[in-house]
Structure 1
Amino acid sequence: MFKYSLLLAAVMSFGLLAGQTKDKDDNLVYRWVDAKGNVHFSQTPPPGQKATSLEVDAPKPSSTPPAPIAPPEPKKEDKLDPSLAKLKGQLKEACDRARENLKTLTTFDRVRMVDEKGEYHLLSDEDKAAQVKQYQQQIKDACKQ
């Protein structure tokens, strides 16, 4: 049954593509069954066979072309001056870095940092708390969006 419905849809589509919907007679499709029991659809009746005519409601082809689709409005971010876009990228990097550092400080008990001389030292609980507070402030400042 699906095969026949598909064939009917193909026949109707072909008629639409070919522009065959000029008057009422052009909306007729003929259905018949051959000797082997196969169902056929056509726009012309078969010679020497009994066929059932079906009227198909097909839309008339339009003589006017469809209206062009306007390109989407650029986003506010797309209109940024290149220097502002660069600054925004730097803020995003600072935000990501501060979040990662805060995650490290809150995940591990012992954290070591590099001082001004390039030497590593473990953070005391007071230093760690100060660093957490500093990164939370950086996240607050840099991650505004």
Structure 2
Amino acid sequence: MLVVKALHIIFVISWFAGLFYLPRIFVNLAMVPADSVAERERLLLMARKLLRFMTPLAVLAVVFGLWLWFGYGFGGGWLHAKTTLVLVLIGYHVYCGTLLKHFVAGRNARSHVWFRVFNEMPVLVLFVVVFLVVLKPF
């Protein structure tokens, strides 16, 4: 089970790297001047590649997390709270894909300030999840 736990941690860290960086690309995209086509296309390419890279990492993080859950058994309210937050992160991930589609179609209506705030959400969730896992408060 320790190998499964190690793989879960590795894939979670890798997924979070994408969750932290993709919205940062959105900040930059929201700031691109209308006449800077090359910069916009380069950022869109980076965002598309990152989303394609981080999606399998998310799937593997969830798969190994479920393996741990079923391997150790169901127990503790902390685990249900963590699972709820993982579902929130999956929704965030999917919403990032929707936002990227809006950028590709030229329909982004949000400012770079909104994306700066949006970018902080996974950090907050990470703090809560780590404390839940380590402290198991309930």
TM-score, normalised with respect to structure 1: 0.29
Larger radius of gyration: 1
Structure with a larger share of its residues in helix: 2
Structure with a larger share of its residues in strand: 1
Q: Which has the higher contact order (CA 8 A, sep 6+)?
A: 2
TM-score, normalised with respect to structure 2: 0.30
